[in-house]
Structure 1
Amino acid sequence: MKAWTAPDVPTLDGAAGRLRIHDTALDELVDIVPDNDEARFYVCGITPYDATHLGHANTYVAYDLMYRVLLDCGYRVIYTQNVTDVDDPLLERAEQTGVAWEDLAEDQVNLFREDMTALRVLPPQHYIGAVEAIPAVVELIESLKLTGAIYQVDDAEYPDWYFEVHRAPGFGRLSKLTDDEAVALFAERGGDPDRPGKKDPLDCLVWRLERPGEPSWESRLGRGRPGWHIECTAIALQYLGASFDIQGGGSDLIFPHHEMCAAEGAMATRQPFAKAYVHSGMVGLHGEKMSKSRGNLVLVSRLRASGADPMAIRLGLLAHHYRTDWEWTANALTEAQQRLTRWREAVARPAAPSAEPLIAALRHALRNDLDSPAALAAMDAWASDSGDDPSAGATVTEALDALLGVRL
């Protein structure tokens, strides 16, 4: 599956450095120290049954910021992202709308590409759909069978394949939930703790055998399709290898999704699945988390169609620290557009303050757990100051593009 066209990223002088970021598993800041100066990270992608809302955009802009910081630190970056292009929510939406599930997925993936391009989000080198990853999924399940952690439920009609989570070393260290909390959240977020025949309520589906009217594929496991968690595990291991640097996504993926992926990956390789787990906060609207199920969405495509500058949308997102939960309001875009206008006017001045202290401040903020609000404040201060450097405006324009992804 193709991603989207990459924007040009200016290269700044004096790039050496290190990213320090919050690891959810340890609940502390950690240094990212890639092997051989090659930073490998994975971010969970969309299930393409609806358009890109600001909650999605907030997540992918956050990891785009991380990507840019890693590049600026002088690392080569290998970024992988999936698309869950076959799953229950997609199939349910297709049935509700009378659209073929393949057509719905293709349409929404194309819209997502357009939104990411407009927001100047750097594309992953590997953009992989669940359907194209089925051979890798089956191979991983077969490998896990050798460990004894894969079993079929005792169901004469649909003996689906499950992963025995408590066999995995370190299961639960990411989410730190009690058993009761985990079971409740598992049920709320697509799990099936009450399914008869499972060894443990938290065991997760890895291969769903064919049901009437559902898409399915031939495999040594029987005709069927992948479970959700095993899809990401297989894709990440295939393209990044074991113990890659960062597993990322929204905080709603900590459990069960990332916990299950970590368990499957560790069981398969006998190494940590990822070195660090990084999670972005949730965006709310009218007092509730923005989500497709609630329908309280602000869509990026609709904002763009209404004439909103994509760089103002991006600034509206960057005004909040990536780990915080926050609420979108009608004023957010207006304030972001005003900030964007001030910045554009500032870099267009015949002379301005020196760019070097600003670039140092931007780097300091962003390398310290992607502190974008501090970076924006540094630029605000520069824009309101006066100076006598005729080349500063052009240098700052390049720096904002390279580090914040904001093109003036």
Structure 2
Amino acid sequence: MPVRLYNTLTQKVEDFVPLTPGEVKLYVCGITTYDLAHAGHGRAYTTFDVLNRLLRARSYKVTYCRNVTDVDDKIVNRARERGEEPLALSKRMSDLADQDLAAIGCMKPDVEPRVSTSIDDIIELVQKLIDKGNAYVAETPSGNDVYYAVRSFPPYGKLSRRNIDELRSGASERLGDGAVDVKRDPLDFALWKSAGDDAFGWDSPWGKGRPGWHIECSAMAMRHLGEHLDIHCGGMDLVFPHHENEIAQSEAAHGPEFAKYWMHNGFLEIDKEKMSKSLGNFVTIKDVRDRNDPEALRYLYLGTHYRGPLSFDVEKRDDGRVVFPGVDEAERRIDYLYSTRDALQAAAGDEQAGDSNVLQGQAKIVNEGPERVLSTLDRDLNTPQALSVLAEVAKAANEIVMQIPKLKKDPAKHAAARSLAAKAVHALQATCEPLGLLQSTSEEYWSRTRAQRLRIRGLEAAAIDKKVTERGEARAAKDFARADALRKELTELGIEVFDAADASTWKIGI
């Protein structure tokens, strides 16, 4: 079965057929780095990280390009407010965004161009559009702007399904701004904006200035992937005007189609409104990481199909704490996955111990897990269904672990079951790989979650160790009332105690 993807351009789910067999040129619009990355950004980049992982798993040679928008009016204005150089602010914010995205399991792009190092490519593309009659220079009090002439491109509106005459009517109502009056048509958009002699910008044939937002992505994508792309991705809010304008300027310069497939993820909503910095209702990835493990945030994203809205719950407690109930529940599920892998590894024996008819049903579910997950992702990245498959695999894996002690009386079956547990470790890992889950070692995961959960509860590991030791001593002295009382104290603190013959261990829940 081929990979099938929803194409915003055709508004259909289509078989994916790359421009060059076996190769994929993938472009994703990156963050405008004037502030911290928010949870909506995390959803977008997790979605397209899964796409990247799927295509590679299906043996495509992928060149994944995601830009950094480090030149933008928002960056310039924020830097001015803080008394900081625009590129210094952007670098600091992009470094923090990289840390956040790495924490939630997003693979680094193959190419990550920055606007500030792509100015020559942008100027060249703007000049080409002027030469072809699709753009014009307009004088302003601060210097020369360059605008794209929207009506020079008849297919304008083909991505967003917008009627150019209706857009013209709406734009006419916004006339009166001096910056708009220099345009030949209110629909025209800036390719180059004059900055004045003393403002932040670069020299160009039209004077000192800086590029418009839309031309930046076209120039960077073409520079690193060529004039025609396989897949162009971004949030649903970018369909218009950003991606519509990218199509207009790119295809005017080099002919159709700029991108064969366009993919857009749905909004992340708080109180049924799109999460947005402009609305002031956003939660940063750092906000979530301060309370939850980042892998849990990724799991939350995967639980909703990428094209639908995702409701992000924020709950304010009486004590002033802000919690994210959906992420808490996702973290419990991540705990279960790591616990499952730990149990398999503890029970595993020699992988070559021989075949047996023992536990055939569980073996089938576990062994088929990796391909079943890929098959669900083949169907327009159906991550909720993929998580259902993963849950079946984890359940079957735990059933294998529970059955192993019962087979001790039959050495052959016992050895075969332990062999199956060893193979199940690899199968579980392979099932998680396309989803970007279970990517840490158990030591890393339990160490970081323990430290975080203790901090949130205001507890010290040494104090917990002391209570667990006291309980062990009470049990050894057959003071079961005292032992039960200590267990109850620990349970109320969120601590789960595991008794073994030699010692007791503990875990802290979310």
- For the criterion TM > 0.5, the same-fold answer is yes
| Contact 1:353–1:392 (Cα < 8 Å) also in 2 | no
Equivalent residue, structure 1, for 2:66: 81
Are positions 1:395 and 2:395 aligned together?
no
Q: Which amino acid aligns with 1:202?
A: L
Aligned to 2:383: 372
> What is the one-letter code of the residue matched to 1:398?
Q
Change (3 A) 1:318 1:184: farther
AA matched with 1:39: V
1:353 aligns with 2:363: yes
Alignment map for 1:9-408 (pairs within 5 Å)? 18-34=2-18, 35-155=20-140, 157-179=142-164, 182=167, 195-211=180-196, 213-306=198-291, 308-329=292-313, 330-347=324-341, 348-349=343-344, 350=347, 353-354=363-364, 355-385=366-396, 386-387=399-400, 388=417, 389-407=420-438
Structure 1 residue 127: deviation in Å? 0.6
Measured in 1, the distance between the counterparts of 2:235 and 2:134 equals 28
Q: CA deviation at 1:202?
A: 1.5
The alpha-carbon distance between structure 1 residues 260 and 369, as it changes in their structure 2 partners (threshold 3 A), is same
Shift of 1:346: 2.6
Give the CA deviation at 1:288. Answer: 1.7
Query: Which piece of structure 1 moves more, 246-255 or 220-229?
Result: 220-229
How far the C-alpha of 1:396 sits from its partner, in A, is: 2.8
- Alignment partners' CA distance in 1, 2:197 and 2:325: 49
Contact 1:186–1:256 (8 Å) recurs in 2: no
How far is 1:403 from its partner? 0.6
Q: Does the 8 Å contact 1:69/1:366 carry over to 2?
A: yes
On the 8 A contact 2:142/2:194 being kept in 1, the answer is no
Q: How far does residue 398 in structure 1 lie from its aligned partner after superposition?
A: 2.6
Change in 2 beyond 3 A, CA 1:50/1:187: farther
**CA–CA distance in structure 2, aligned partners of residues 43 and 333 of structure 1:** 26
Taking a change above 3 Å as real, the CA distance of residues 294 and 183 of structure 1, as seen in their structure-2 partners, is: farther
Aligned partners of 1:98 and 1:261: how far apart in 2?
Answer: 33
> In the TM superposition, what is the alpha-carbon distance from 1:401 to its structure 2 partner?
4.3
Structure 2 contact 5–381 (Cα < 8 Å) conserved? yes
Contact 1:136/1:235 (<8 A) preserved: yes
Letter in 2 for 1:256: P
Question: 5+ residue gaps in structure 2?
Answer: 314-323, 349-361, 401-416, 440-510
User: Is the CA contact 1:193–1:202 (under 8 Å) kept in the aligned structure 2?
Assistant: no
Q: Secondary structure, in 3 states, of the residue corresponding to 1:103?
A: helix
Bigger drift between 234-243 and 145-154 goes to 145-154
Distance 2:172 2:340 in 1: 52
1:261-298 superposed Cα distances (whole Å, 9 cap, x missing partner): 01111011113110011001110113321111122122
Contact 1:46 1:83 in 2 (8 A): yes
Q: Give the structure 2 partner of residue 7 of structure 1.
A: none
> What amino acid is the match of 2:436?
G
CA distance in 2, matches of 1:83, 1:280: 19
The verdict on how the C-alpha distance between 1:63 and 1:323 changes in structure 2, with shifts beyond 3 A counting, is same
Change (3 A) 1:72 1:184: farther
1:340 maps to amino acid = I
Post-superposition offset of 1:183: 5.6
- Could you tell me which amino acid in structure 1 is paired with residue 395 of structure 2? S
- In 2, the alpha carbon distance for the partners of 1:170 and 1:370 equals 29
State the TM-score, normalizing by the size of structure 2. 0.72
Q: Deviations over 1:102-137 (max 9, x none)?
A: 221111001011111112211111111111110000
- Structure showing greater radius of gyration is 2
Q: Which runs of 5+ in 1 are unaligned?
A: 1-16
Q: Normalising to structure 1: TM-score of the pair?
A: 0.89
The 1-side partners of 2:269 and 2:62 are apart by 31
Contact 1:186 1:255 in 2 (8 A): no
Q: State the alpha-carbon separation in 1 of the partners of residues 40 and 258 from structure 2.
A: 26
Quick one: higher RCO (CA 8 Å, sep 6+), 1 or 2? Answer: 1
Using a 3 Å threshold, how does the CA distance of structure 1 residues 25 and 99 change in structure 2: closer, same or farther? same
Check conservation: 1:400, 1:407, Cα contact below 8 A: no
Equivalent pair of 1:193/1:201 in contact (CA under 8 Å): no
Displacement of 1:52 in angstroms is 1.1
8 Å Cα contact 1:230-1:264 kept in structure 2: yes
Instruction: Report the CA distance between 1:144 and its aligned residue.
Output: 1.3
Q: 1:291 to 1:187 in 2, by over 3 A?
A: farther
Q: For the structure 1 residues 345 and 168, does the alpha-carbon distance in structure 2 shift closer, same or farther, using more than 3 Å as the test?
A: same
Distance in 1 of aligned mates of 2:166 and 2:235: 19
How many positions carry a matched residue from both structures?
Answer: 388
Measured on the aligned residues, the alpha-carbon RMSD in Å equals 2.3
1:357: how far off?
1.9
Q: Which is helix-richer, 1 or 2? A: 2
Contact 2:197 2:208 in 1 (8 A): no
Q: Assess if the C-alpha contact under 8 Å between 1:315 and 1:336 holds in 2.
A: yes
User: Secondary structure of the residue that 2:363 maps to in structure 1?
Assistant: coil
Q: Which amino acid aligns with 1:92?
A: N
Contact 1:185 1:256 in 2 (8 A): no
User: Are the structure 2 counterparts of residues 270 and 370 from structure 1 closer, same or farther at C-alpha, using a change threshold of 3 Å?
Assistant: same
Structure 2 CA distance, aligned partners of 1:195 and 1:148? 20
Three-state SS of the structure 1 residue aligned to 2:264 is strand
Amino acid at match of 1:364: S
How many Å separate the matches in 1 of 2:243 and 2:171? 12
Instruction: Report the residue type matching 2:72 in the other structure.
Output: D
Separation (CA, whole Å) in 2 of partners of 1:32 and 1:187: 40
